[in-house]
Structure 1
Amino acid sequence: MDSHIYGVSEKTLFLFTLLCFSVASISALPHQNRTGNSTVTGQMINSNSVLVALLDSHYTELAELVEKALLLQTLEEAVGKHNITIFAPKNEALERQLDPEFKRFLLEPGNLKSLQTLLLFHIIPQRVGSNDWPGHKSNPTRHTTLCNDHLHLITKNSGKKLVGAAVLTRPDDVTRPDGVIHGIERLLVPQSVQEDFNRRRNLRSISAVLPEGAPEVDPRTHRLKKPEPPVRAGSPPVLPVYDAMSPGPSLAPAPAPGPGGPHHHFDGESQVKDFIQTLVHYGGYNEMADILVNLTSLATEMGRLVSEGYVLTVLAPNDEAMAKLTTDQLSEPGAPEQIIYYHIIPEYQTEESMYNAVRRFGKIGYDTLRLPHKVVAQEADGSVKFGSGDGSAYLFDPDIYTDGRISVQGIDGVLFPEVEKESTSVKKSVSSVKVATTTPRRGKLMEVACRMLGSLGQESHFTTCQ
């Protein structure tokens, strides 16, 4: 007779325990997929999967785009259902051979759907090896991709195998139990993505149209004036640098316009910031940096000029030279700007180019931003000397900053135009000379005549001889 445990027989309890253990064992078994491959366990991807091989392969650009497009889960589900074939473009096709504007379009957050469609266009939900390509005498085979579009596999008479318009360069490059990866020479772009890109580009160009004035008529020929030819990117500016400068401080005390020319080929603001930071870190040029940034708006104006394509060479006096400036030299309105303008040359010169020029030609006159004054350079003691006399300065710290657009050369003195030196010296000489009063003196002929009349006793008749 079976013993009872709390009203339940021991045999019934044993059968119930065995049934629970069987159910647990069955539920823990891996699920076989329909194709007989056991690479997928639920949502787990085996390390031998073609998807893992893609992420670890040398197709790094494609793998990065797959991650940015948030397609990992979609591809995991596709691998779990069937074998796949991936046509992977080489890295060069995505790095350098792709249109930058099109790549920018794909990476914009609002165009995520287009990027996903583009990548899924490279994947076929079945295994297609290089041996499965049609012969050159056979018709092209058509395969449906994961984006529900179609790809055609073709073999040319020369033996080249094509995927759409791309040549198969690395057949069966990566082979795994659940798929294969073929290397192709270029990116495949479906028609829907191309149309979307063209539509966005046309809308952008329409929305960015600038208003234009009425056409101008040439009064000499009575015909419409032809528009000026467009300026090529990176070419020198059309206007001279003096026309591009903002008005002087006496006319416009407000800061110059912000940097950023009409063509935006150069980032002048960043370059000016770099050279001012270089002055500060170099040491000994803090006064020059302070004048450019705080005392005047010249840093902003220089950034605007560089952004519009102009090049500048700055002769930067060191702190010892700037400390010698008097209050009278800085008190006049606009005096700091005029001093710095005389130290900026609208050319790109380095220590080597200036030294070679003065060695060859003796004296060189460089234009400055302070019209019409020029700064004269000549060779002296194996270096370059600017100016003359007591107001001269030597090239003290060459090539402090050179980036192809801005050149900064350190000098040991503050330069002034020759006209100012002459005017100051004339004032000093006039103030120091004393005016002497002299009596009017008669001519020698009159003296001889008066002496002859005196001998005759007739000089009293002439007031001039008295």
Structure 2
Amino acid sequence: MNINKLTQLFTKLALVTGVVGMSAFATAPARAESYGNMGNMQNMQMSASNKNLVEVAVASDSFDTLVKAVQAAGLADTLANGSYTVFAPTDEAFEQSLPEGAVAFLLQPENKDLLRQVLSYHVTSGKVTSNQLQTGTVDMLYGGVAVRVAPGKVIVNNASVTNANIAASNGVIHAVNRVLLPQELRETIASRLAMQ
């Protein structure tokens, strides 16, 4: 399958999952609490931004590894144009929560499909701010994540949101302190790394 067809397939998948994912948010009542200044990272206020998600990530000093991964996966155009919410692992999260050598492995061209799956597990369609999140499951472009909301914090799977509501013109970024991986993806990465 060539890159254009794969990109078209990914875009169609994003549209379909976006309808399903946003319908879940549309029926859930919004929470009044704000999770704006979490952790040690400086929080950007939710205000109109003229930069898209990719440009905001590039401008930050916390998402260099994520930006490299998005570019290696060929998803920069997709994330620059659609409306998305990204649970974005910081550089430190990539370094600390993946096995040694996993980032370099995922960035290799022959692992592009696997990298797309990893990144798609961090993205949901539509703009979902922290005060709209509720305890439960959120449908991502690849699978679903468990969200737990408590006073002053949001937990996504086993990761904490450390900086919520980073505004972009086409969505919002919530920085997280771990790379989110469903068990099957974690096992696939570990087994492929072991074969190298």
TM range (shorter): 0.5 to 0.7
Q: How far apart are 1:201 and its partner, in Å?
A: 4.5
Pairing 1:41-440 to 2, within 5 Å after superposition: 47-58=50-61, 59-77=63-81, 79=82, 83-134=83-134, 140-147=135-142, 149-156=143-150, 159-172=152-165, 174-201=166-193, 204=195
- Identical-residue share of aligned pairs (%): 29
Q: Supply the AA of the counterpart residue of 1:170.
A: N
Question: What do residues 120-169 of structure 1 show as CA deviations (whole Å, max 9, x unaligned)?
Answer: 111110211111122xxxxx32222123x11122124x643111110111
**Matched residue SS, 2:101:** helix
Distance 1:122 1:101 in 2: 20
Distance 2:123 2:140 in 1: 6
**Matched residue SS, 1:155:** strand
* 8 A Cα contact 2:80 2:170, kept in partner: no
Q: Supply the AA of the counterpart residue of 1:69.
A: A
**Matched residue SS, 1:99:** coil
Runs of 4+ in 1 over 3 A off after TM superposition: 95-98
Distance 2:79 2:51 in 1: 15
Question: What do residues 254-301 of structure 1 show as CA deviations (whole Å, max 9, x unaligned)?
Answer: xxxxxxxxxxxxxxxxxxxxxxxxxxxxxxxxxxxxxxxxxxxxxxxx
Distance 1:143 1:76 in 2: 22
Distance 1:141 1:96 in 2: 26
What is the aligned-residue RMSD (CA, Å)? Answer: 2.4
Question: What do residues 410-454 of structure 1 show as CA deviations (whole Å, max 9, x unaligned)?
Answer: xxxxxxxxxxxxxxxxxxxxxxxxxxxxxxxxxxxxxxxxxxxxx
**Matched residue SS, 1:151:** strand
Distance 1:122 1:61 in 2: 14
* 8 A Cα contact 1:84 1:123, kept in partner: yes
Corresponding residue for residue 26 of structure 2: none
Q: How far apart are 1:75 and its partner, in Å?
A: 2.2
- Unpaired runs of 5+ residues, structure 1, are 1-45, 135-139, 206-466
Compared CA separation, residues 48 and 73, structure 1 to 2 (3 A): closer
Larger Rg: 1
**Matched residue SS, 1:196:** helix
* 8 A Cα contact 1:61 1:95, kept in partner: no
Distance 1:141 1:71 in 2: 27
Q: How far apart are 1:57 and its partner, in Å?
A: 1.9
Paired residues in the alignment total: 147
Distance 2:85 2:140 in 1: 9
Q: How far apart are 1:97 and its partner, in Å?
A: 4.8
Question: What do residues 91-140 of structure 1 show as CA deviations (whole Å, max 9, x unaligned)?
Answer: 11223553213224313332111111111111110211111122xxxxx3
Q: State TM-score, norm by structure 2.
A: 0.65
- Unpaired runs of 5+ residues, structure 2, are 1-48
Q: Supply the AA of the counterpart residue of 1:141.
A: G
Distance 1:191 1:200 in 2: 14
**Matched residue SS, 1:55:** helix
* 8 A Cα contact 2:167 2:173, kept in partner: yes
Q: State TM-score, norm by structure 1.
A: 0.29
